[in-house]
Amino acid sequence: MTPAARISACIEILDRIQQGQPAEQVLTRWARGNRYAGSRDRAAIRDLVFDVLRKRRSCAAIGGGDSGRALMIGLLRQQGRDPEELFTGARHAPPPLSQAEKIARGAGGVARPVRLDYPDWLDDALAASLADDLEPVMECLRHRAPVFARVNWRKATLDTAITALAEDGIAGVSHPLARSALEIVENARAVGRSRAYRDGMIELQDAASQAVVEFLDIPQDGRILDYCAGGGGKSLAMAALTEAEILAHDAAPRRMHDLPLRAARAGVRIATVSDPARAGDYGLVLVDAPCSGSGAWRRSPAGKWALTAERLAELVDLQARILDEAAPLVAPGGVLAYVTCSILRVENQTQIAAFVGRNSGFELVRERQFTPLDGGDGLFVAICKRI
């Protein structure tokens, strides 16, 4: 496909997304219906579409509207490219720009939420949460996230993992945010097909998620519960660091369906449980709670635009209930670790302070807020000890 034909495809896809269809579904359906598009074309189109979704408000402001066509005009201008070079009306290219569309617009003088691409109603909450870091953090979230892998200490060292990846033409370099973190700086799309991945030497995992696991007080024996395990990424990361028994639980068990296969590949044992209370209590209970996902908006930009004040309030209530459910599962002297992939104080510092305030049997030991300025996603972690 020519660059102009890719732009036409993006316009079509974005129009469907603007109608409320999920981005991943639209991209998949488009690829199935356009078999002529090669893997490089599909990858390039996907990247352009997600660039627009991260920058939807500023693209609309610069492009003069919220149609797929206007959004692509806005994106090209943000990239320093002249839309008229691609909007030519030639074969498979979008029609030429109208006189109105030729008027260049900028986002520099518009309101901060438009310029930095987030909903107006979040401005006060973000300012209270990030203070002087608001603008640089939100600017980070407008751009594609780095790709990270976690070295599985059970099967590899940093050096052996880097060497194995290089054999498949993949370049990885250590990242300071976590001891186990490798940033994939070349040929990232090939990681899932690499020998290092197939042999369990590495897992794809954000560097901040790895740093959160390293921040925990992980017991070396006894039992650990991953209470909101999801796909089990943090269970796997913990298993590489301890001989303790690890159990994974999730309110939606289907999320853990491939965890046994991933654990076998990693050379570790993780049991999934439907009723963790039946097994007794645990030296560490990890609550990786449902949240706004605001720290990972560059990976899942649709969540940024779907979040409402009402939904955020629901999430805060849900987090509080989950913490109160998990607390009795912690053994005396054990630890409750609370984690979100959020940069919003109401889900993080405020939430854990309220938990300690109503649960006198726990004390806050330490907490840390990671933001994209640290290199990975925005995550929060708090360590509470049962006393």
230: left (phi over 0), alpha (psi -120 to 50) or beta: left
Q: DSSP strand E in 111-195: where?
A: 147-151, 171-174, 181-186
Give the pair of three-digit tokens for residue 145. 């996230």
CA–CA gap between residue 193 and residue 85 (Å, rounded): 37
Sequence-ordered strand ranges (E) for the chain = 147-151, 171-174, 181-186, 202-204, 223-226, 245-248, 270-272, 282-288, 330-340, 362-369, 380-386
Provide the CA 239 distance to its chain's centre, in angstroms: 22
Residues 6+ apart with CB under 8 A from 35: none
Question: Both tokens of residue 110?
Answer: 């518009």
Rounded Cα distance, 25 and 192, in Å: 21
Residue 187 CB partners (closer than 8 Å, separation 6+): 168, 169, 170, 171
Rounded to 5°, angle at Cα 210 from 209 and 215: 95
Backbone angles phi, psi at 287, to 5 degrees: -110, 95
Strand ordering across the sheet containing 147-151 = 171-174, 181-186, 147-151, 202-204
HSE toward the beta carbon, residue 252, CA cutoff 13 A: 6
Half-sphere exposure (Cβ direction) of 124: Cα atoms closer than 13 Å: 2
Integer CA distances (angstroms), 324 to 227, 327, 352, in order? 12, 5, 11
Q: Give the neighbor-by-neighbor strand order of the sheet with 362-369.
A: 270-272, 245-248, 223-226, 282-288, 330-340, 380-386, 362-369
Active-site residue list: 341
Cα–Cα dist 236/292, whole Å: 23
